[in-house]
Structure 1
Amino acid sequence: MMHLEEMTAAVELGRTGEREAARTQLTALWEACDDPQTRCAIAHYLADVQDETEDELSWDLRALEDVEDDGWLPSLHLNLADDYRRLSQTQLAEDHLSIARGLLSGVPEGAYGDLIRSGVVHVAEALAAGSVRRLETNPSS
């Protein structure tokens, strides 16, 4: 994958709290990349280092536009459901949560699958409770 080392380093910056540096590096990679699948991955990670929910939503939508590998879809729809939930756009949140649920049968067993399955539960619970708070389990936290 093009820019894999740079992308990995930028994602790690975000995970260690250097969100602005991560945003800058990931944005530069996204602008320089013309491969849709790589752009999808970069946009997906860029969403996680945004400070505002509206910006996170924008990057999650860009990731969805560039998706070519169906394996990304459960996570992307889960993130969109959570974005819309936090923006009090309940119907859109429910729509994307429904899509994410429908894709769970294709999610592999293991840590990634467990993360997606538990994320669906957490977003559904928050949505049912009317919460618009960022979940502690959100990668953007």
Structure 2
Amino acid sequence: MTDMQEAPGDVVMTRIGQAMMLLHGGDREEARNRFAALWSEIGERGEALHRCTLAHYMADAQDDAGDELAWDLRALAAADGLRQDRLTAHRASLAVRAFYPSLHLNLAADYAKLHRPAEARLHLDRAHAALDVLNDDAYGNDIREALRRLERQLDAV
């Protein structure tokens, strides 16, 4: 998923961004704590953009592959509930379809970690099917390269 920028007045996205900075700075435990506190506030019925973004980054903060998978599945489920008009209001350049290559890549990686290659390949296929929406830029190229790396890893098993 692309890094999210704060929409004016979106306090939840601001708080997610603050926890993301902790995560990217190496403070996984504090990031996890903040993500967990946010999740307890917004929960399964919160706004889809908030749930998708939060679950996507909470997955990255997990130490256990099973927990990571559970959060990535929540992110995918939330993405399925995203509306393009809400996403455009957050940032005009975002498209709901652009979330799926990254979300499926993450699920493929989770399943690979859990030694479930059939499920990993299923999500690799889904990520490939969604690649056409990504631009030929650093983000799109990073996703494509990560897919190639994971495919090589699965082929070596």
Q: TM-score range by the shorter chain?
A: 0.7 to 0.9
Of 78-87 and 107-116, deviating more is: 107-116
Equivalent pairs counted in the alignment come to 130
Aligned position for 1:76: 103
Q: Equivalent pairs: percent with the same residue?
A: 39
Superposition deviation, residue 4 in structure 1: 1.9
1:18 corresponds to 2:27: yes
1:125 corresponds to 2:156: no
Letter in 2 for 1:117: R
Larger radius of gyration: 2
Normalising to structure 2: TM-score of the pair? Answer: 0.79
Measure the CA separation in 1 of the matches of 2:70 and 2:50.
Answer: 17
Superposition deviation, residue 91 in structure 1: 0.5
Superposition deviation, residue 109 in structure 1: 2.0
Unmatched runs of 5 consecutive residues or more in structure 1: 131-141
Normalising to structure 1: TM-score of the pair? Answer: 0.88
What do you get for the CA RMSD once the two structures are aligned? 1.1
Unmatched runs of 5 consecutive residues or more in structure 2: 1-6, 83-95
Letter in 2 for 1:48: D
Aligned position for 1:59: 71
- Pick one of 76, 87, 90 that aligns with 2:114: 87
Superposition deviation, residue 59 in structure 1: 0.3
